[in-house]
Amino acid sequence: MPHDTRGLHALLASHHAGGDDVSIELIDSSDPVINLTMHAYGDTQVQVAASGGQIFISTILVPAEQVRDRDGFNDACMRINPINPLSNLGLTSIDGRDVYIVFGELSANASLDEVEEELQALAMNTIDAAQALKPYFD
Protein backbone atom coordinates (compact mmCIF):
# COMPACT_ATOMS: atom_id res chain seq x y z
CA MET A 1 0.00 0.00 0.00
CA PRO A 2 1.39 3.43 -0.89
CA HIS A 3 2.47 5.68 1.95
CA ASP A 4 0.75 8.94 2.78
CA THR A 5 2.42 11.56 4.97
CA ARG A 6 0.52 10.74 8.17
CA GLY A 7 1.11 7.00 7.76
CA LEU A 8 4.79 7.56 6.99
CA HIS A 9 5.06 9.74 10.11
CA ALA A 10 3.67 6.90 12.22
CA LEU A 11 6.19 4.45 10.72
CA LEU A 12 9.16 6.79 11.21
CA ALA A 13 8.09 7.72 14.76
CA SER A 14 7.76 4.06 15.69
CA HIS A 15 11.09 3.19 14.05
CA HIS A 16 12.93 5.94 15.94
CA ALA A 17 11.04 5.61 19.25
CA GLY A 18 13.40 5.60 22.21
CA GLY A 19 16.37 6.74 20.14
CA ASP A 20 18.03 10.11 20.20
CA ASP A 21 19.43 10.20 16.65
CA VAL A 22 16.35 11.79 15.06
CA SER A 23 13.57 14.05 16.34
CA ILE A 24 10.32 13.74 14.39
CA GLU A 25 7.43 16.19 14.20
CA LEU A 26 4.28 16.04 12.08
CA ILE A 27 3.19 19.46 10.85
CA ASP A 28 -0.45 18.55 10.35
CA SER A 29 -2.33 20.73 7.88
CA SER A 30 -4.27 20.23 4.67
CA ASP A 31 -0.88 19.27 3.14
CA PRO A 32 0.93 17.63 6.08
CA VAL A 33 4.73 17.54 6.25
CA ILE A 34 7.08 15.59 8.49
CA ASN A 35 9.99 17.57 9.90
CA LEU A 36 12.96 15.48 11.00
CA THR A 37 15.93 16.84 12.89
CA MET A 38 18.88 14.61 12.03
CA HIS A 39 21.06 14.98 15.13
CA ALA A 40 23.89 12.82 13.77
CA TYR A 41 24.18 15.25 10.85
CA GLY A 42 24.53 18.55 12.71
CA ASP A 43 20.80 18.84 13.43
CA THR A 44 20.00 19.03 9.72
CA GLN A 45 16.29 19.74 9.24
CA VAL A 46 14.70 17.45 6.64
CA GLN A 47 11.13 17.66 5.41
CA VAL A 48 9.21 14.67 4.08
CA ALA A 49 5.86 14.54 2.33
CA ALA A 50 4.10 11.69 0.56
CA SER A 51 1.48 12.39 -2.05
CA GLY A 52 0.13 10.51 -5.00
CA GLY A 53 2.81 8.13 -6.19
CA GLN A 54 5.88 9.67 -4.56
CA ILE A 55 7.65 10.56 -1.35
CA PHE A 56 9.49 13.88 -1.55
CA ILE A 57 12.39 14.48 0.87
CA SER A 58 14.18 17.84 1.02
CA THR A 59 16.25 20.21 3.10
CA ILE A 60 17.36 23.78 2.69
CA LEU A 61 20.98 24.13 1.61
CA VAL A 62 21.17 27.92 1.73
CA PRO A 63 18.86 30.91 1.25
CA ALA A 64 19.71 32.49 -2.13
CA GLU A 65 20.26 35.87 -0.47
CA GLN A 66 23.27 34.35 1.33
CA VAL A 67 25.00 33.46 -1.95
CA ARG A 68 27.32 36.22 -3.15
CA ASP A 69 27.92 34.97 -6.72
CA ARG A 70 24.72 33.28 -7.88
CA ASP A 71 26.00 32.58 -11.41
CA GLY A 72 29.14 30.90 -10.08
CA PHE A 73 27.12 29.08 -7.42
CA ASN A 74 24.62 27.81 -10.00
CA ASP A 75 27.48 26.53 -12.16
CA ALA A 76 29.07 24.80 -9.15
CA CYS A 77 25.71 23.22 -8.21
CA MET A 78 25.30 21.83 -11.72
CA ARG A 79 28.78 20.30 -11.54
CA ILE A 80 28.16 18.73 -8.12
CA ASN A 81 24.72 17.37 -8.98
CA PRO A 82 25.87 14.40 -11.15
CA ILE A 83 28.22 13.12 -8.43
CA ASN A 84 25.76 13.63 -5.56
CA PRO A 85 24.36 10.10 -5.03
CA LEU A 86 20.61 9.78 -4.42
CA SER A 87 20.11 13.55 -4.08
CA ASN A 88 19.66 16.55 -6.34
CA LEU A 89 20.28 20.26 -5.92
CA GLY A 90 17.54 22.69 -6.84
CA LEU A 91 16.16 26.18 -6.43
CA THR A 92 12.66 26.82 -5.11
CA SER A 93 10.67 29.58 -3.47
CA ILE A 94 9.55 29.40 0.17
CA ASP A 95 7.41 32.23 1.50
CA GLY A 96 8.38 34.34 -1.52
CA ARG A 97 12.14 33.88 -1.01
CA ASP A 98 14.44 31.83 -3.24
CA VAL A 99 16.23 29.00 -1.45
CA TYR A 100 18.60 26.33 -2.69
CA ILE A 101 17.56 22.85 -1.59
CA VAL A 102 18.88 19.32 -1.61
CA PHE A 103 16.13 16.85 -2.45
CA GLY A 104 15.32 13.28 -3.38
CA GLU A 105 12.22 11.39 -4.43
CA LEU A 106 11.08 7.85 -3.85
CA SER A 107 8.10 5.79 -4.88
CA ALA A 108 5.22 5.97 -2.41
CA ASN A 109 5.61 2.17 -2.30
CA ALA A 110 9.18 2.40 -0.97
CA SER A 111 10.00 0.34 2.09
CA LEU A 112 10.87 1.97 5.39
CA ASP A 113 14.49 0.85 4.86
CA GLU A 114 14.57 2.65 1.50
CA VAL A 115 13.12 5.81 3.07
CA GLU A 116 15.73 5.63 5.85
CA GLU A 117 18.52 5.19 3.27
CA GLU A 118 17.31 8.28 1.40
CA LEU A 119 17.12 10.31 4.64
CA GLN A 120 20.68 9.38 5.59
CA ALA A 121 22.02 10.01 2.08
CA LEU A 122 20.27 13.36 1.82
CA ALA A 123 21.59 14.55 5.19
CA MET A 124 25.15 13.50 4.30
CA ASN A 125 24.91 15.00 0.81
CA THR A 126 23.67 18.28 2.28
CA ILE A 127 26.69 18.50 4.57
CA ASP A 128 29.03 17.58 1.69
CA ALA A 129 27.42 20.13 -0.65
CA ALA A 130 27.58 22.87 2.00
CA GLN A 131 31.29 22.20 2.48
CA ALA A 132 32.01 22.13 -1.26
CA LEU A 133 29.99 25.28 -1.94
CA LYS A 134 31.03 27.24 1.14
CA PRO A 135 33.25 29.67 -0.83
CA TYR A 136 30.07 31.09 -2.42
CA PHE A 137 28.28 31.83 0.87
CA ASP A 138 28.30 35.26 2.50
DSSP letters for the chain: ----HHHHHHHHHHHTTT-SSEEEEEE-SSS-EEEEEEGGGTTEEEEEEEETTEEEEEEEEEEGGGBS-HHHHHHHHHHHGGGSTT-EEEEEEETTEEEEEEEEEEETT--HHHHHHHHHHHHHHHHHHHHHHGGGB-
- pLDDT by residue (tens digit) across 69-117? 999 999 999 998 887 888 999 999 999 999 999 999 999 999 999 999 9
Backbone angles phi, psi at 43, to 5 degrees: 60, 35
- pLDDT by residue (tens digit) across 2-27? 789 999 999 999 999 988 999 999 99
Name the pLDDT band for 1 (thresholds 50, 70, 90).
low
Report pLDDT for 52. 86
Report pLDDT for 85. 80
- pLDDT by residue (tens digit) across 28-63? 988 999 999 999 999 999 999 998 899 999 999 999
Which of the four CATH numbers 3.65.10.10, 3.30.1460.10, 3.40.50.720, 3.30.1490.20 does domain 5-136 have?
3.30.1460.10
